[in-house]
A and B are shown apart, each in its own frame.
Chain A
Amino acid sequence: MRQILPDGALDPLDRLLINRLQDGLPITERPFAALATETGLPETDIATRLTRLREIGAITRFGPFIDAAAMGGAFCLCALAVPDDRFDEVMTLVNAHPEVAHNYERQHRLNMWFVLACERPEDIASVAGLIGAETGLKVHLFPKLQEFFIGFRVEA
């Protein structure tokens, strides 16, 4: 939902829930129990508020965050420097591959950035090779060597 919530859509308890529930919850029978004690809000009210927060688009989901690579797949960020007059043609060629999970135009000489999501690591090189051959452009491969994400919080 590409829309900013109107003023007043969230009350202080909504904001507290959004801010607090971005941290991991324990996998227990009653995951909201500690938060309920802390806030004085019954667990069922927390669940009801979460349902509403999803309905109005303040949150997109509540659930497990999966490390897709840990499931056995292979992923690689790739970039192309596409000449302006060939942009649509190259976009069509790239997007036709089902392994292209998403693709963004960015302001840079390397102006097309896409992620390959493959079942097996060896498929990355072969799909990238195909895209290189089809487009005649050098496919820059940026596999992740190390990831650091721990701190991101959206202040509601």
Chain B
Amino acid sequence: MTIDATDRRILQATAGGLPMTAAPYAEVARWLNLTTDEVMERMRAMQASGVIRRVAVAPNHYALGMVANGMSVWDVVDDRAADLGRQVGALPFVSHCYLRPRSLPDWPYNLFAMIHGASRNEVEALRARIADLLGDACRGRDILYSTRILKKTGMRLADGG
């Protein structure tokens, strides 16, 4: 899954978004002095290899009323964790869902699912739905609400190859 310097130029040029026109890739091609076909072929190849997950709209969930979120964490028995993780990740109110190692004895949880809702109460209700889904495969649970952003710098692409 390697990308070359031209791929990187395409990703950097579109990091802030595609031009909002009926033919956005033609415009990107003009910016970079490439042909439209080359831009599209390279982006399709990057999508096939997983570098690009998808081309889509990123909604501002806060503006759209989903103002509450919580990091729910679960201790799920290992032999069912991947299967159940997939089901939790498919829920429409879960934005990120990961299996991670436990850090015993301080931290017994291996499944992390970020829940978004319109209020703290709604987040708690959605969390109960995950608990139902996990059933007796879940041995412990918690939820962590963020109280402050201490630092936030966007992911930056390194320059060069």
A residues adjacent to B (C-beta < 8 A): 1-5, 17-18, 21-25, 27-32, 43-44, 46-48, 50-51, 53-54, 56-68, 70-73, 77, 79, 81, 91, 94-95, 100-110, 112-114, 117, 119, 138, 140-156
* Chain B contact residues: helix, strand, loop or mixed: mixed
- Chain A residues closer than 8 Å to B116, beta-carbon distance: 152, 154
> When chains A and B are docked, how far (Å) is the Cα of A101 from the Cα of B157?
12
Q: Are B60 and A142 in contact (CB under 8 A)?
A: no
Q: Are A50 and B64 in contact (CB under 8 A)?
A: no
Enumerate 11 A-B pairs (CB-CB under 8 Å) in ascending A order.
A3-B63, A28-B25, A30-B23, A79-B103, A101-B151, A141-B101, A142-B100, A142-B112, A152-B95, A156-B59, A156-B64
- Chain A residues closer than 8 Å to B60, beta-carbon distance: 1, 57-60
Q: Per a CB cutoff under 8 Å, which of B55, B57, B85 touches A27?
A: B55
Q: Per a CB cutoff under 8 Å, which of B47, B92, B142, B144 touches A152?
A: B92
Q: Are A31 and B61 in contact (CB under 8 A)?
A: no
Interface residues of B in 109-161 (CB under 8 A from A): 112, 116, 142, 144-155, 157-158
Is B77 part of the contact surface with A, judged by Cβ < 8 Å? no
> When chains A and B are docked, how far (Å) is the Cα of A144 from the Cα of B97?
10
Q: Are A140 and B151 in contact (CB under 8 A)?
A: no
> When chains A and B are docked, how far (Å) is the Cα of A91 from the Cα of B147?
14
- Chain B residues closer than 8 Å to A150, beta-carbon distance: 89-90
Interface centre among A68, A95, A102 (most CB of B within 10 A): A102
The 3 tightest CB contacts between A and B, nearest first, are A148-B89, A24-B54, A43-B22
